[in-house]
Structure 1
Amino acid sequence: MQCSYFDAGRCRSCALLEQPYAAQLGGKERHCRHLLAAHPGVQWLPPVASRESAYRNKAKMVVGGTVQRPTLGILDAEGRGVDLSECGLYSARLQGCFPALADFITRAGLTPYDVPRRRGELKYLLVTESPDGELMLRFVLRSEEPVGRIRKHLPALLAALPQLRVVSVNLHPEHKAVLEGEREIVLTEQETLRMGLNGIDLHLRPQSFFQTNTDVAAALYRQARDWVDEAAPASVWDLYCGVGGFALHVADPARDVTGIEVSPEAIASAELTRRDAGLRRVRFEADDATAFALAADDAPDLVIVNPPRRGIGAELAGWLESSAARQVIYSSCNAVSLARDLDAMPSLRPRRARVLDMFPHTAHYEVVVLLERA
């Protein structure tokens, strides 16, 4: 992928961009194999490649510049806005909405947040695109002060971008390197964005997590579904389930599936999909994954874990090691923490593994591993 921003030194986020894509993918698999080298006998399935461009379904745009001339992109070392509205990681449809959003900032008088001076209101625009081209837009603000102006001018924005389905404001009053705050104000009648994957309509609420690369996420869920169907367990837990991607993909009339996620927003989304699909043997609960497991009377036949970068940690790894679960499917975005967690579960042996390139041109990747009780 050719990138004028990278060539000009304005953005270096795609640190591997100068490497041929095949070399990037091969390097990621070698890195993962090296980290899991203490576990011999793993069958490595061919890595899942991504599109090299236009693969991101979410744009996390730092808003800089001024009300009259806003920038959408990142900040430089001095805290000044760098416009990346033509970044090749975004689809043409995402790129096409940025001029209207910049115009809306001016029309509604939304002052970009000045990080060095700690002044202004609008910190980020978060735009998510569904496979059908529908959009969810979130304004991350310091306070409620601009909300009235956003409401006033929102009809004009919806007319300019008819693909907008969900619009919300996230309140993030603190000056710290966190993307969003806890409080969300939904401004549209529709509250969820429909994300269709593998014939399943997942529902995404503003504060719910969803994988950045839709195509590769679909491949990840298919891989887990194939392994679960092959094992044919009577019961499955999906821990750190998010909006229910794994749980809903492995649902079957012959098995009980439980999804656990700490975010009530994500659980509400998962419940909506479950009800729409009429899945009576699937249930979701808002809880901490480790606390849920430690408090449970029994273990399921198979556990799926999809933790954040820190991994599942010693407590949950210890519970899995001593549990009666026969198999574990571990989906990881950080192979370093994965390797550490595997060392804490010696009786659960990695049998198959697959690298999925969720983030081309960066050192990051996803890996999914099937573990079986020795």
Structure 2
Amino acid sequence: MGQDYRDQVRDKMRTTRRMLYPFLAPDTKWNSPFQCPQPGFRNKAKMVISGSKKTITLGLAPTPRHPHGVDLEECPLYPESICATFEPIRQWLLRLGARPYQIDAHRGELRHVLVSANPAGELMVRLVLRSKAALKRVENTWPDLARELPGLRVFSVNIQPEHTALIDGPEEIVLSPQRFLPMPGVGTDLFLAPGAFFQTNTAGALALYNQAAEWAARLRPGLVWDLYCGVGGFGFAVADSLGANPSPGEAGGGEPGSCQVIGVELAGAAIEGAKHAAQLQRATPGQAPHENQTTQVTGGATGSNTTDDITTNQVISKPAANGLRFITADAGKWIRNQKKLVTPDLLVVNPPRRGLGNELSKWIEKSEIPHVIYSSCYQPSL
């Protein structure tokens, strides 16, 4: 946007090479950069709800230059499946009769609408409210929106009472019968729960997962850690490339040629989806996981559970039939709390924008882990 895509790729490659040059061997080989399809590559839209009860804008927040906000219905970043949701959502919100949140006055109920779409055009819609004042109206009328959006699979309400830049609040209420939006992965579908993070570029995500799987297949590790694993994209891809089999215990020690993959993630909503995918893989026909009609989760997007288990009837904590195990925990704390630490043969890390942090980075440096795959979304923190 505003710069030729080829120039963007060239500039990013130049910056990355310059940044990593002091740390690389002279004979380091660089792969060709992945270039995603343009436009319409973004699978998620985050819209501020602005305006009044009679006129609603979905898009960027109001500014002195744009006092009514900026509508993003025709934004070229979004695929048609997302752009087509704007008008039905806008009309439904107008019928709802709740007031859009006014940032300066700290008044109003409607804060954000978040829409995610998979390549099949299936949708997840999350409505962020300031309080539960309009919740009953939403519960009674959201089926009307579902009839206007045939692809709608997951609908939830998030409560964000704080005047903050954070979009997600501490409580997520799922109103739809279906809790997860399937997204493409390598070796399995991935499952996105409300509040969980997924790479916003679906084609780019698959390229990352396939590259990690290719490298892992060459290395043939017996034990893999996938830290900041999210919904399990890297973990499932690596496990698929290795033909991972169940291993007893939490670390290594399985049958000859087997591999154990352990995914660690602080966000409970993401681990829910990862465990759901793992359970689907191990379920026999007719025993697929059941999804609640209505599910309420407290703890927001990051969740509050820092143990191995999340108690729901959709997920499990035992190793799946493919040798995968997913744990809800802070990565650094999980490592420190290991009574008998067995370091992995391969470490995969996909941290948020802030990076790994000094403590975890230093631990990895001293750990003598032979192979690390680092997926970075922000070069300065790499």
TM-score, normalising length: structure 1: 0.84
Q: Paired residue for 2:202?
A: 214
- Give the aligned partner of residue 24 of structure 2: 40
Q: Distance in 1 between matches of 2:87 and 2:68?
A: 19
Q: Does 1:271 align with 2:275?
A: yes
Aligned equivalent of 2:80: 92
- Aligned partner of 1:64 in structure 2 is 50
CA distance in 1, matches of 2:337, 2:280: 30
> Which letter does structure 1 place at the counterpart of 2:153?
R
**Which of residues 279, 290, 293 in structure 1 aligns to 2:332?**
290
Deviation at 1:110, TM superposition (A): 2.5
Q: Deviations over 1:101-144 (max 9, x none)?
A: 00000111121111111111111000000121100000011001
**Residue identity in the other structure for 1:255:** C
Structure number having the greater strand percentage: 1
Give the Cα–Cα distance (whole angstroms) in 1 for the partners of residues 213 and 336 of structure 2.
26
CA RMSD of aligned residues (A): 1.2
How far 1:224 sits from its partner (Å)? 0.6
Indicate the residue corresponding to 1:50 in structure 2. 36
State the Cα distance separating 1:18 from its structure 2 match: 2.9
- 2:350 corresponding residue in structure 1: 306
How far apart, in 2, do the equivalents of 1:213 and 1:69 lie? 31
Residue 243 (str. 1) matches residue 287 (str. 2): no
Query: SS of the counterpart of 1:38?
Result: helix
2:327 aligned counterpart, secondary structure: strand
Number of the residue aligned with 1:30: 14
Counterpart in 1 of 2:365?
Answer: 321
Which residue of structure 2 aligns with residue 257 of structure 1?
261
SS in 2 for 1:37: helix
In 1, the alpha carbon distance for the partners of 2:349 and 2:51 equals 41
**Alignment correspondent of 1:332:** 376
Question: How far is the alpha carbon of 1:70 from its aligned partner?
Answer: 0.4
Consecutive unaligned residues of structure 1, counting only runs of 5 or more, are 1-16, 339-374
1:301 touches 1:324 (CA, 8 Å); kept in 2?
Answer: no
Moved more, 205-214 or 83-92: 83-92
Q: 1:114-129 counterparts in 2 under 5 A?
A: 114-129=102-117
How does 1:59-208 map onto structure 2 within 5 Å? 59-78=45-64, 80-208=68-196
Q: Considering Cα pairs closer than 8 Å and 6+ residues apart, tell me whether 1 or 2 has the greater RCO.
A: 1
Report how far residue 36 of structure 1 moved. Answer: 1.0
Flag as ranges the 4+ runs of structure 1 deviating above 3 A. none
Match of 2:250 in 1: none
What are the superposed Cα offsets for residues 40-72 of structure 1, whole Å, 9 maximum, x if unpaired?
333211111112210110010111111221001
**Is the contact made by 1:236 and 1:258 (CA closer than 8 Å) also made in structure 2?**
yes
In the aligned structure 2, how far is the partner of 1:106 from the partner of 1:199? 42
